[in-house]
Each structure stands twice: as C-alpha cells, then as structure tokens.
Structure 1
Amino acid sequence: MKQPGLGGPGVTQCLILMAFCVTGLNSLSATLAQNPTCVDQLVGQSITISCVVKGQSMERLELFWYRKTEKNGSMEFIISAKGSIGKKFYGTKINPGKFTVKNDDLQSKSTLGIKNLGYSDTGTYYCMAGTSMKYTFGDGTILTVVDFLPTTAKPATKKPPCKCKKQKTAKTSPPGVSCSVVIWAPLAGLALMLLIGQYLLASHTYRVYRRTHVYFRKYSPK
C-alpha cells in the first residue's frame, strides 16, 4: 500500500513532521539503535539494516524507514509497518519488490531489506518509531554502493634478513682444565724463561761467590 513520504503532499506525513519539530528528537521515551552504522556493499547485491527499539514495547509503536540520498537531497519515506503483522505502507516512488521490512516484537527489532542495489541507493538510512504524536529517530546507517569491496588482507611483506651475528657456542674444557691452550702456551713460556733466568742468576752468583772466596783466602791477613 502506497503512502506519501515526508517530502510528499500527504497531510498525515506533514502532521508527523510538524509534531516531530515541535516535540524534539527525543520526545519518545524509546531509543533506537541501528546496525551497522556504516557499510559498503557491491552493486547488484542485497543488504539488511536493523533497528533495535529500547525502552518501550514495540507492539505499540509504528516503525518507519527513511533515507537521504544525493539524488533526492531530502528525507524520502521508504516503508512503514506497525508490529509484526501490521500492514505495510510504501512511499510514492518506492518499488515494493526492492524494499522489505520485517518487525520482530519479541526481539523489539525492525529490519529493512534492500535488493538489487544501485549507485543511486547510496545514502543514509534512518529508522523512526512513533506513537500518537511522539516520534524519535535512529542515528542512521551510511550505505555506500561500490564496484568492489576494499580488501582487509594485510599485504605480504618479505622478512628482512637477519643482521645479527650468530654467537659461537663456547667449547667446554675437559675436566680439570679451566684455561685453553691459547692461555697456557704463554704462561708455560714465561715460566720457562723465569727458570732459565733463575738458573743463570744462580750460576752467576755462584761464580761471584767462588771468586770472592778465593780472593779473601789469598789476600786475607793470616
């Protein structure tokens, strides 16, 4: 069933707009949470947008869906329904085969379905809940229809070559040996030189002693 949108000449929608402007955005005690808040979808594909009603029973509310596109420039009424079994009303320029709405009273959720997406469907979609002369809007869902979806895969990166030098494993010394040959060789050479020096010094001392002893025996007074 067709129903004029906010931009149309319908008296009902004009009264709704007037009441909405007078009572304010949050005049209704219920709040609306839309999901997703922003989405990209391929051209020709379908998409669903959900609107969860919080703070009030959905059985007493009528749910409306609007959109604002670059082509229209103003809020365009799409579809509305009251409860899960209520009649559905469409905007004057809306194709019933393209848009569907499903209300779930138990989950307090209204779902808008859009088929065969085109570039002209790019825009912001809003759900609105109302009862009597009080209405409130959701935060909106930004839909962008694209030729291809951006990839989320991380680009493959080559592992940089390791610049760290590999540490050489220390060779364990045999039991009882704490120093390597490189340390032992100089020490052994030094010890040998000390022994030779001591031998030479002792030999020289002995010769000096012998000469001195002979000298004193020869020239000492008797």
Structure 2
Amino acid sequence: MQKFLLIFLGSFLIFGIFFWSLLSPSISEDDVQLTNDIKIISTSGQSDKNQVDKLEVSILLKNKSSKPLFNKKKDYLYTVYLYNPSSYRFLKIEYANQLNPKELLLGSDSRTKKRVIKDLKNANIPISYKNGIVETPGFMYLGRAPQISMEYYFIQKQKVVRNDNFYVVFSFYQKKYGKNLSWSKIYTVEVTKNESD
C-alpha cells in the first residue's frame, strides 16, 4: 500500500511539473500590433524666450486576438509605456473620442513597470531617475475596442542628441499557478525633425 502511494504521488508530481512547464501567457507577442509615429514640432519662429521644441508621439495599439488584452477574472493585464532617458518632459496625453474614459487608466502599474525597467536595463538603455522615480507615462484600456489610438505631448528640456530616442514598451503581466508568464516588448522610436515646421 505504501509503495502504491509513493508511485501515485510520484506520478502526480511528474504530471504537475509537466503541466506547469506547458503554461503559456493568455496574450502573446503575436496577439499585439503596436505602431507609432513621432515628430518634433519646432517653435523656431517664435521669440528666443519661447524657442522650445515640442514633440508629439502617436501610438496605435491593435488587438489581433479574440481575447481582451485585460481580463480581471483571469488575472492578467498590460500597460503601454513611453520612455525617454532625459531630453523631454512629459506634458499631456490625449485619446480618441470613441474610447470610454471610464475604461481608460492613465499612469503606471507597479507590476508591469518593474518589468519595463528591468528590460530597458537589459537592453543597455540608460535609465534616468527623478527623485528616485523613473518617469514612464503609460496607459491601459479596459474595454474591448479592437484598436486604441493615443497621443503624447512632450516639451524639450535640454539639447537633443542624435541617439536620444524614445522607447514604447508593451508590458504584459500574468501569473498562473505560481508561474510568472509576464513579458514585454520594446519599440525604438527615432526622434527626427519635421522639416515642414
């Protein structure tokens, strides 16, 4: 009887380990399409006092899966972050009129932001702290819209160097049966002058 019990427990443990190893995130990188556009709005025509360039970043997020990107019942979520090491100060964020503001969260989530900072460091992207905090304005949409359009506005606070790019990061968080299934993807956005401005 004892031998049978040990065999049963051993088999159950092996099956559990095998099942645990096959767990995968509810949303994968292939389920998300993120595109962006960026331009510097030059103010060189104004007086010297006001010659501070502003920057507009447009982000379009598409859900290619049949599942929502946020699911409270299944305990998974995401945040889209925008990061620049040092040259710009965040001003404001605007969103498309068709989005329900009650379903839109602006800011950050400690679970997804922790992953973002870690992955930015692993990608050798310089991290800039202000009062011990990394400024990464973000958003999370809780609705079922197939695509989400957001616009960020920044103001230049120091001379922009050629490689001082922006980084858009999609950060997904999920834990299932104790296994961390979180992931993030970094999109590099080069800052270029808009010659027409």
| TM-score normalised according to structure 2 size | 0.39
Q: Per chain length, whose mean CA-contact separation is higher, i.e. which structure has more relative contact order (CA < 8 Å, sep 6+)?
A: 2
Structure with greater helix percent: 1
Structure with greater strand percent: 2
